[in-house]
Every structure is written in structure tokens, then in C-alpha cells.
């Protein structure tokens, strides 16, 4: 597993041992970030990111490599947290750019909502089987932690319905993985998919 773009492109990342986490493949990660880059007004430069169910931190690290100002990593599994911290240390990521919360996603999001944290990009890659519970955790507070115009990227099993109080921009399938990109646009339109613009 490697960083696929930006400052640390090609650098290896450590994945947690065992099967408790399912790292996003390099190919899917590259597709996600190419897609998101085309949707962000200023690419990744200076944005605030949160990486939920972070595992090794590969998604959040990818955002930092491409210029994000800061990333909050949320992961409760101790083995995964150790791998995440090792990856941040190996890349010499400054403490001010990486905040690691070793707790549940529900607890982290509720605390961030109380503290009025606002993210430009929310990345969520829960275990496929845990999506119903993860969806409930996200739905409860996602509108409070994602900035207006901010994007949410959710990885699920192929064909999984992603029901959140956000507008769906795009749904893409990569093998057995589905990536859904949603936006908080405060237009009152929720979960309504729009067609891709003609090229």
C-alpha cells in the first residue's frame, strides 16, 4: 500500500495486522481523489479533512499529501491506531496537521459538533457489514460537522444504499466496492442523484 499522489507519492504505508480493517486499494484511492479533486473549488489546498474508520490512515494521509491543511483521524481499534501513528511518524507529519482521536466515530462526531469543527471533506470507510450502524452515526450529526458546500465520501459494499441528509453527486463502483460522493449544499434537496455533466 502506497500514497498515490502529492508530496508523499510512492511512499509505503503500514496496514494494520489481521482482518479487523480493510484498507482501500491504491487503485480505488486514486480514483476517489481524482474524482474529489474535480469537485473541490480549490483542489485540496488548505482544506480541513476528517477520516472516519481511519484504519492505517491511508485516505487522510492521501489528502494531506495533496495539500490539505489538517486531517482528523478517527479510529478506535488499538492495532489500527498503532499503524496509523507509525505511518504519520514515518512521513514526519507535523502534529498540527494530524489530530488522532482513538475513540468511536459516534463519540468523535458528537464532540466535534459541540466544538463547532467544520470539515470541507469527510471520508468514511466503515466495515461493510457495519454500514447500518455507521449510517445512523453519520446521519445524526453530519450536517453539523460538514461545512456548507463540503463533500462527504462514503465507501460501502457494491449496491449498498447510502441514505444521509445530503445530496448525492455521484455513485461509482470498483469491483465489490461502491463509492458515493455527497454534498452539503443546504438547498433542501436530499439524496437526489444528479447526472454527470457531459464531457
Rg, C-alpha atoms of the chain: 15
Count Cβ atoms below 10 Å from residue 114 Cβ, excluding itself: 10
Does 13 reside within a domain?
A: no
pLDDT tens for 171-186 read 999 999 999 999 998 7
| Contact indicator for 145, 117 with CB cutoff of 8 Å | yes
CATH code where residue 167 lies: 3.40.50.150
Does 14 reside within a domain?
A: no
| Contact indicator for 138, 164 with CB cutoff of 8 Å | yes
From CA 183, how far away is CA 190, in angstroms rounded? 9
Of 71, 122, 66, 139, nearest to 101 by C-alpha is: 71
Beta strand 146-157 pairing with 177-183 = antiparallel
Instruction: Provide the grid cell at 13.
Output: 504505508
From CA 154, how far away is CA 97, in angstroms rounded? 23
Does 34 reside within a domain?
A: yes
* Domain span holding position 179: 26-183
| Contact indicator for 140, 164 with CB cutoff of 8 Å | no
Does 99 reside within a domain?
A: yes
Give the rounded percent of residues in the chain with a pLDDT score beyond 90: 79
Does 128 reside within a domain?
A: yes
From CA 146, how far away is CA 23, in angstroms rounded? 24
Does 116 reside within a domain?
A: yes
Does 76 reside within a domain?
A: yes
Query: Looking at residues 121-145, what average pLDDT do you find?
Result: 94
Count Cβ atoms below 10 Å from residue 104 Cβ, excluding itself: 14
Q: How confident is the model at residue 197 (pLDDT cuts 50, 70, 90)?
A: very low
Whole-model pTM?
0.89
Does 16 reside within a domain?
A: no
Sign, CA torsion 39/174/140/59: negative
If one counts the domains in the chain, the total is 1
Task: Mention every residue, 6+ apart, whose C-beta is less than 8 A from residue 159.
Answer: 178
From CA 47, how far away is CA 49, in angstroms rounded? 6
From CA 40, how far away is CA 178, in angstroms rounded? 20
pLDDT tens for 142-170 read 999 999 999 999 999 998 989 999 999 99
Amino acid at each position: 500500500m502506497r500514497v498515490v499522489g502529492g508530496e508523499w507519492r510512492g511512499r509505503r504505508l503500514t496496514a494494520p495486522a489481521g482482518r479487523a480493517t480493510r484498507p482501500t486499494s491504491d487503485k480505488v484511492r486514486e480514483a476517489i481523489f481524482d474524482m474529489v479533486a474535480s469537485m473541490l473549488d480549490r483542489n485540496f489546498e488548505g482544506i480541513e479533512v476528517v477520516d472516519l474508520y481511519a484504519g492505517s490512515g491511508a485516505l487522510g494521509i492521501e489528502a494531506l499529501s495533496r495539500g490539505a491543511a489538517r486531517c482528523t483521524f478517527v479510529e478506535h481499534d488499538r492495532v489500527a491506531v498503532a499503524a496509523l501513528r507509525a505511518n504519520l511518524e514515518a512521513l514526519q507529519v507535523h502534529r498540527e496537521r494530524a489530530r488522532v482521536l482513538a475513540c468511536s466515530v459516534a463519540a468523535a462526531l458528537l464532540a466535534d459538533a459541540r466544538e463547532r469543527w467544520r470539515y470541507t471533506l469527510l471520508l468514511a470507510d466503515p466495515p461493510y457489514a457495519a454500514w447500518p450502524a455507521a449510517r445512523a452515526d453519520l446521519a445524526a450529526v453530519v450536517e453539523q460537522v460538514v461545512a456548507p458546500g463540503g463533500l462527504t465520501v462514503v465507501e460501502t459494499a457494491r449496491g449498498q444504499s447510502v441514505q444521509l441528509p445530503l445530496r448525492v453527486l455521484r455513485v461509482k463502483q470498483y469491483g465489490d466496492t461502491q463509492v458515493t460522493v455527497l454534498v452539503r449544499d443546504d438547498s433542501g434537496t436530499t439524496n437526489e442523484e444528479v447526472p454527470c455533466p457531459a464531457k
